[in-house]
Amino acid sequence: MNRLATIAALAGALLLPACGGSGMGQAVRQDITARMESVQSPLSECYRVALEEKRRLAGTMWLRFDVEPETGKFTNVQVARSQVRHEGLESCVVDEVSKLALETPQKTVVSVDYPIDFAPDQAAP
């Protein structure tokens, strides 16, 4: 049986955004973190599938995206840098994050760099 995967955002909201423009207050950071946490299950599934192909796959993937004004939609999602180097996993993560939108949209574009750590769950058989 393959190991189950765990995903954790590195250092939570503290490392989260590299701000572009205005609108990056604590409430926005918390909203972005909450949205990213809401896709933890789909991202874990992306990782589980990738582990079937490459069982020791692990590392950090840094996403870069914009949060659109008024709608709050996450756009221009891309992998800025990756230690994982797995095209299927990267594509799946980008697809899932591209579905997100802030609960409370801002009036300006917010640019975000967001690290995600992928590591096999050591407790799983």
With CA atoms as reference, report the closest residue to 89 among 2, 5, 11, 32: 5
Is residue 59, in this structure, part of any structural domain at all?
A: yes
Inter-residue contact 119 to 83 (CB < 8 Å): no
Q: Could you read off the pLDDT of 97-114 as tens digits, one per residue? A: 999 999 999 899 999 999
Place of tokens 């933890």: 40
Q: Could you read off the pLDDT of 112-121 as tens digits, one per residue? A: 999 999 998 7
pTM, two decimal places? 0.81
Q: Name the domain count of the chain.
A: 1
Is residue 42, in this structure, part of any structural domain at all?
A: yes
Find all residues with CB under 8 Å of 64, minimum gap 6, and list them: 76, 77, 78, 79, 80, 111, 112, 113, 114
Tell me which residue range forms the domain holding 37. Answer: 5-120
Is residue 125, in this structure, part of any structural domain at all?
A: no
Inter-residue contact 117 to 60 (CB < 8 Å): yes
Is residue 89, in this structure, part of any structural domain at all?
A: yes
Q: Could you read off the pLDDT of 50-73 as tens digits, one per residue? A: 999 999 999 999 999 999 999 999
